[in-house]
Structure formats: C-alpha cells, structure tokens
Structure 1
Amino acid sequence: MTTYLVTGGAGFVGSHLIDRLLDEGHSVLCVDNMVTGSRANIAHHLSNPKFEMMRHDVTFPLYVEVDAVFNLACPASPVSYQKDPVQTIKTSVLGAINILGLAKRLKCPVVQASTSEVYGSPERHPQDETYWGNVNPIGPRACYDEGKRAAETLFFDYRRQHNVDAKVVRIFNTYGPRMAVDDGRVVSNFIVQALKGEDITIYGDGTQTRSFCYVSDLVDGLVKTMEISRDFSGPVNIGNPAELSVHDLAEQIIDLTRSKSRLKTMPLPVDDPIKRKPDISIAREHLKWSPEVELEDGLIATVDYFRSLGM
C-alpha cells in the first residue's frame, strides 16, 4: 500500500485518479483549494479511512508525509484559467516549486500533469514530444500555456540538479463524467446546450480539429507513468490520436442526445489552436499504453452524467 498525494484532487481528472488509487487499496491525501474543484466529486470518499481531504493552495509550501505525488493543481479550462490569469501562472510555477521541494525532501516520485497547450497553436501535426511548440507568450492563454511550460522546466531542472524522480505527462483533450457544467470546454458545452435544446455554439467555422480521450484512459496513463522506472521522465503525450472536427463532434452529440439544437457559429477566440492531435508513440513503447474507450461510448457515459444533474 502506498500513500499518494493528489493535488487538485477535487477536480474532474483528480477525482477520477483518486477513485482508481483507492480502488487499488492505496491511501490518498487530496489537496485542493476548491477554486475549481468540487466537494461533490469526492463526497463518496469522505467516510473512507484511507482518504483524507486537505484544503490548501499549492502556491504555499506543503508539509506532509507521503510516498508519491501527482501534481494536478491548476485550473485547466480556458474559462477557468482566464478568470484570474496571475493566480493561474502562480499555481503552475510556485505550485511546481513547492511540490518539487516536497518530493526532494521526501525522496519520492512526482508526476506533473502538464498539457498539450505547451504546443500552442502547433505548426507540426500531429504533435510529438520533440516539438517545442508555437506559443504566444503575451496572449490571453499564456498564463496557462507558459505557466505549464515553466513548470516542465522546473521538473527537469529538479531532476537534473537534485536527482528528483520527476516525470511529466502532457495531457490532451479529456472528457467524461464530473466535467463542470460551466467550464467552457467543447464537450461539456455541446452536451449541456444539446440537452437544454439551445443552439450549439461553435467558435470558428467548425473545421478545427481535436482528439478526445476518455478520463479513465487518461487516469491509466497517469498511473503507468508513476509506476514506470525512474529512468523514464517523459515528457509523454497522453491522449487519443483519433482526430475529428469540432463540427462533427457537435453533430454526433446532437444525434446521441436526440436534440433539436441547431449549430451557431461565433468568432474563434484569440490563439485558439486550429489542429490538435497527439503522437502517442512514446506512450505505446515505454508505458505500453493506448486509449481503449471509443468516442461514442465515452460520450454516452458523459451525456448520462449530465442528464443525472437535471440538464
């Protein structure tokens, strides 16, 4: 049995990761400042003696005793991270410093939840881990994009300078139950609008592409990254390489929900990527990982979740 620290554990991805770790018999300390996290996501664990919740902001040092750390703390949707951009970049950079300092003291492994946003609006397609990206350092998304890039730098510097067992996972678009209703991500937006019978808002002409990974597949990739030898550091892309247009996603969700919603186009936000697709060769080779959940199956489960909220 291992005691894991999961920062951002009350969030969408963090709560599913905690489910997995507890199911495997481990103990979990969930740390979250509850800015974007939800108590409802972890409420089913509150009576579990192997689960502990701590309200704490990772921009301040954390003094706990654990065996391994998953650092997921940071708002991840454009709506969330642009509400307070200064705090967003603080969470990425100061949070990484504090979590790496903890891992250095405890001599324990730590996995950083980075993002495909480090590639910016990519000029290479699909995106592999050797690509340095095309990021606007002064745009409205930079607080997240550059914050995560700086966090990656810190993880590799701590690895080189202090021999910390630090690993980096670059997460591509992920969806599933427990997504926030108002987080502004394309899957949740489309499902909520379809269930309400509202017009489905497409930003741009809808030809921009994304690749969607179901949350259980992502969690499996995070766990396998933690469990692999310390010789492997990443960065490693974790995402589904099946690519489709935003327009096609909207049509599929309309069909699944049997909605009468119509499509409505709006201007594309500044610096919004036109294409996004992971090259997962490294994950396949080193982690023996690849996604298993088909998009339709994952969307059905996600639609059922939003229906359960009374949408």
Structure 2
Amino acid sequence: MHTLITGGAGFIGSHLAEYLISQGDDVTVLDNLSTGRLANLRQLSRDPRLGFVEGDVRDTELVESLVAQADRVFHLAAAVGVHVILDDPLGSLRTNLHGTENVLASANRHETRVLLASTSEIYGKNTADRLHENSDRILGSPLLSRWTYAAAKGIDEAFAHAYWRKHDLQVSIVRLFNTVGPRQTGRYGMVVPRLVRQALNDEPLTVYGDGEQTRCFSYVGDVVPALVAVEEHPDSAGRAFNLGGAQEISIKALAEQIIDVTGSRSIIEHIPYDQAYGEGYEDMRRRVPDNTAANELVGFVPKTSVRRIIELVAQAMLRDQTDRAGGLGSTPEGAGATAEVTHRTLAAEGSAS
C-alpha cells in the first residue's frame, strides 16, 4: 500500500506516518514546513519506505503527481492553531479551501481513497452535553477571523461530501477534538504543550479567561489507529466521525493537574482573552464529543487519561531537551528549561492511563 499524507511532518501526521510504516505501508509525506518540522520525522529518516516532498497543497500540479502514485490519501494539511488563523486569515482560508479541493479533485480523477481530517471547531459555540455528528453548528460573525477556520473546515467537509454524492469518491471525514501528545508545540496556541512547557520551566501557567471553559483531550496514540480504521472501513465513505477524549476537564483544572504531575513551582496566572488574542476574540465554554458513531464503526474507545497525557508530553519534552543538549539537533518547545528541570522526576511517572 502506498499512502500519501499531506501535512505529514506535523504533529499528528508524523505519528500517522510512523504507524502506517509499522503496518507495512510505503508513505510519502507532503508538507510545506510552515508549522510541520522535519525533526518530527527523524525516527523514520533512514527508513526507505518514507519519502518526503516539500511543497504546498495549493500547488495543483504537485498534488496531482503525488496523488497519481498513491493508493490512498490522508489529508491533514491545513493552516492550524489560533495564532496562525488570527495572524493570517486570508492565507489560512486559501490553504484550507483551495488545498482541500486540489486533493479531492486529484483523488477523484485517479479514483484514490481519501480521509479528510476535520475538527471539532466546526461545531462553533454549540455547548450541548454531547456533540454528535449531526449537531448544529453555531458560529460567530464571519467578519471575526476567529471563525474563519471553522467556516473553512465546514466547507471542506461539504466539498468532500459533494464529491462522494456526485462522483462516488471514497472519502471519509474525521472530526478531531483537541488531540494531544509528544511533538505538539504550544507555539500556535495549543494549550497542553504550552502549559507543560511553562510548568517545566517553573514559569506562571497562563490560563486565558476564568479557566472554567472545558475540553476533552484525546491522546494521539489513541487517535491515529482510529484514523486508519475509519479510512479502511467500507461503510465510512460519505460520513463524518467524531474522535475525541472521554474526560471533560476545565482549563484551570488542567493547569492544576500539570503542576501536580510535573512537581512544578509554578503558579496559575489568568490572562484576559483580549490580551492573549486581541480584541473581539470569542471562545467556547464547553466542547464534549459523542464518540458513538466511531465506536460502533471501528470500536473506537479513548483509553488514555488526561493525567497520563500530561506525563507523556512532559517526558517527551524532557527527552527532547536532553537530546538537544547532546547535540542531536532537535528544537523542542521546552528548549529553555533549566538543567535542574531536565533531571526532574515526574511526580506520577508511569501511572496507568
């Protein structure tokens, strides 16, 4: 099986590449390295089954040539992260819309299967107890760049569904809820790695707003096999599936747990949204997935607890810093951590997930 992963040098994409190669696939990664990093693929750098192409999903000819060689495509390439979206809404729209249509059009011409990675962001401000795949989308004003990502990903899904209906393109959709794990950075607004890095440096943990907003975090090691299982299932085409964590937690409680797990001397500092993101930013008070559809289709059950996710992210950051100190050339999010922190033993290291 030859698999193309767009955005494969990113956090999720690199874990997916490793998993697919371990299953016997040949994998080609297409990434423009705007948010992805070659360092994410370093464990595969000597594997002949991995090919890397630096390029953009908006490049029609390049996408066409790569899709023509693939048996299936995992389309993960997108402008991601709150800061990326807010700083360049026009570029984000072009990447997320034109890039996705390029992939779908090429896949249709070559009858290539596709899995489209979408997001829980499409539900917007819907705070229902459990968001299922047919839940209403409640978005803010399209003039607020906060909502451009949600709007674009919703249109991406509409494109995919239209290709399935009109051309019988075998395309399935997954909506990811706050996927977390090693290699994810807080550079673009991802909360867990940002807070873990701050804790490892004994810096104040910056919690935006009152911290009572809640999320469900899912571990990348639980999500990646489910991505593949959904793509491979014959009944997944033309449908969308939530993939999210099972444990709802407030951001304030998350910060407290991070301090506890890392043994940090940090305090929690509340930052107003307008100071963090600029005037007019809107957040969601609650976002909880209903994973029933994915469970019924492929048996998806999120197994990794929030505490275990924190441990794994912190351990990875400390390992990366040790590698950097040894000259292996990685550039982890926690690069500023002190030598004392590098040798810190996590308070709950090795606890069950």
Instruction: Report what 2:185 is aligned to.
Output: 180
SS in 1 for 2:16: helix
- From 110, 115, 118, the counterpart of 1:106: 110
Query: 1:1-311 maps to which residues of 2 (within 5 A)?
Result: 2-61=1-60, 62=63, 63-64=65-66, 65-136=69-140, 137-230=142-235, 232-268=237-273, 270-310=281-321, 311=337
SS at match of 1:141: helix
Q: Is the 8 A contact 2:127 2:285 kept in 1?
A: no
Q: Secondary structure at the match of 1:124?
A: coil
Instruction: Return the alpha-carbon distance in structure 1 between the equivalents of residues 31 and 222 of structure 2.
Output: 23
The amino acid of 1:280's aligned partner reads N
Instruction: Note if contact 2:216-2:249 (Cα within 8 Å) is conserved in structure 1.
Output: yes
Counterpart residue identity of residue 28, structure 1: V
The one-letter code matched in structure 1 to 2:265 is: K
TM-score (norm 2): 0.85
Counterpart residue type for residue 55 of structure 2: H
Unaligned runs of 5+ in 1: none
**Deviations for 1:212-270, whole angstroms, at most 9, x for unmatched residues?**
00001110221111110055432110011310111110000001111111111111351
Structure 2 unmatched ranges of 5 or more? 322-336, 338-353
For 1:18 and 1:174, the matched residues in 2 are separated by 16
2:126–2:136 Cα contact (<8 Å) kept: no
SS of the aligned residue for 1:70 comes to: strand
- For residues 30 and 95 of structure 2, the distance between their equivalents in structure 1, rounded to whole angstroms, comes to 13
> Are the structure 2 counterparts of residues 308 and 83 from structure 1 closer, same or farther at C-alpha, using a change threshold of 3 Å?
farther
RMSD of the alignment, in Å?
Answer: 1.3
Say whether the 8 Å CA contact 1:123–1:133 is kept in structure 2. no
Change (3 A) 1:139 1:309: same
Question: Could you tell me whether the CA contact under 8 Å between 1:123 and 1:134 is conserved in 2?
Answer: no
1:287 Cα shift?
1.8
Contact 1:174 / 1:215 at 8 angstroms: preserved in 2? Answer: yes
Query: Which stretch of structure 1 is more off in the superposition, 193-202 or 130-139?
Result: 130-139
> For the residues of structure 2 that align with 1:216 and 1:81, how far apart are their CA atoms?
26
Higher Cα radius of gyration: 2
Shift of residue 292, structure 1, vs aligned partner: 1.5
Q: C-alpha distance in 1, partners of 2:223/2:86? A: 24
- Using the TM superposition, give the Cα deviation of residue 45 of structure 1 relative to its aligned residue in structure 2, in angstroms: 1.6
Contact kept? 2:176, 2:243, Cα under 8 Å: yes
CA separation of 1:277 and 1:123: change in aligned 2, threshold 3 A: closer
- Offset of residue 163 of structure 1: 1.0
For 1:96, the aligned partner's letter is T
Identical-residue share of aligned pairs (%): 34
Alpha-carbon distance between aligned partners in 1 of 2:23 and 2:167, rounded to the nearest angstrom: 31
Amino acid corresponding to residue 172 of structure 2 in structure 1: K
Q: Quote how far apart the aligned CAs of 1:55 are.
A: 0.8
Cα contact 1:46–1:52 (8 A) shared by 2? no
TM-superposed CA distance for 1:83, in Å, is: 2.7
Give per-residue Cα distances to partners, 1:170-223, cap 9 Å, x unaligned: 000011100124232110111011111111111111111010000011102211
